[in-house]
Structure 1
């Protein structure tokens, strides 16, 4: 079985592969490797060659990554990334593979319960990015368990890229610094009104409310909204802060001094950007500020839809594009002027590093809370994404814009007014 796996991945292995039948392949002294534990794992691998099959086998416990704790398999994944180059077998190679593995392994079986439906089967939940379907996929990812997220994200309960003021900063210091930076970029001051769309557990709402800003946050996740609103109450911020369980498109209020979107754009869909940015423009007063914080691709020409692993196990219906596309779509909205963009790619790699550390430190409680399969999934997903940011496969951009007043003088400072 190890030799069969070697044929699937191709190339000269620098990792060690072992299998349940006692076979092995690759250097004996390799520090990192894969251990295929069960025949079911073989079925997952051959029926979905590539990252989806690997994820199924790993989440189900049929495949081990050797060399790291399952809560942080970063180093093992780095070693594997250089070796795992799945290619489609030729007809002759496929025939040989069937003979080697056995035809019974090519009969598809049910995936692990953590897997979402494929895109084509989600139409029962509505058209892509309809309100009903968006609510369903957001619930899939964010309504896992508030306690689990507390264990992974730490005290800030912030599930977006932190901004590290220095290499020695803690995760909590970096998340606080991120909110400080966004608050300053939006030129917020006591008495202002902020709308934070896709507010998560309300970190930006609470940061602004503590500084006398009337902040409204909305999220499609019921569990997030309940946790966030309770935190507003517990911290005595109800005079200034509110979190609603709501689609952002259902917000009726307008005239805000600023709108922030921190980690929502990935769920919007590129085709919906014009309506999305028009909504943001319509919610701010003349001269008001808009900040969009989102994961991006390093260029603008590739397909926007996520690959099978991310789409089935992490962010169903998620879409990414380059910062240039985001900027151009914002510029195409009448009266929106883009002022500044900034890339925080390295900061997201560091954020993911610290989330993985939290998962390892709290592994036993995390497994008790959500099950070992889901905990393994999160370790795999976060470590894999960290490699993506390390290698410039994905980035994280802030894009700052303002709503220009019709026929009025621009009152913004001539140069950036915030500290990095």
Structure 2
């Protein structure tokens, strides 16, 4: 029986999960491929020994013994970050190795270079685990929806942010206390910036947009806002009017331009996306043939992500065995058909809005605010003032009808410049219910 030999760089959470999946499911994978897929070598500088169940696997501190070794068919990179991961992957490709990675930051920022190098060497790059953890998002987009023009991508793509927003919603807790608890329980990193400020989600959206539209998309083209300014009062207002706040990645295909944005969004409670709980992810594609397709599951974690990495290993193994390398292009479209696209400026976005204005409680305040909004063509659908304290500071919450982002920005800048305003106005976009 043919043996497919795997070398692994990084034996952390995902690396050890991948190794465990390959070990536990060895017979199952053999029945599905007709090959013995075997982990033969691990490179890691942070451990002195592998667990006893991996007694037959060689451990090295030298990544070159994986990326350039003649006895390795598939190199799996699971250390994350840009460098040295990028150098390891390019060196493996130059050595005619197939590559599997879960590195969304690397793929979103340097995928063009990596895929070009792989095409030149006629080797494959698998990256299923880079988006959605254990959810087969990449495979669905690359193969299952191949006959569709993708009209939109909307999703919850970061479990940490979703966990924080859900606990704030369900338990009435403030952002800081939930974040601290999430860090204590390992749901959030010591430095949670990428998760809570939407950067991690933006990396994933870049990858999905490239595959959905056959286009080159850069990270700096994605408008990105995080959840750190969301307060319990915003969540309570959202609930009162039938919404839940989610950190969404949103891209819409307008034919001549494409939206690319990540930000907190008030989602109608009846929508499936509004009811994604805990640290789970959900990604909805809309195709012109299939309409809406929602993929839901664990977006991170040792075993779910290890499962996705193993799926890529199996796909590549099957292609090796059948002499069908690059049977499916890495990004779904043939490399020479990729195009440059125009990203719709956020200023042209039109949607309903929620505003929380913090003002001194004095006569004429509301008329001053609504006057400015009206001047910029923004109509108020409903308004709520939290408490009364003559001469004190109070929040005023407003829900606006659909308006253009540029008008909203101009109006809020004018409002925030008023002497009566004591803090910057909080703005949250509302998912269009139509």
| Higher normalized strand content (fraction of residues) | 2
Larger radius of gyration: 2
Structure 2 length-normalised TM:
0.30
| Higher normalized helix content (fraction of residues) | 1
Structure 1 length-normalised TM:
0.31
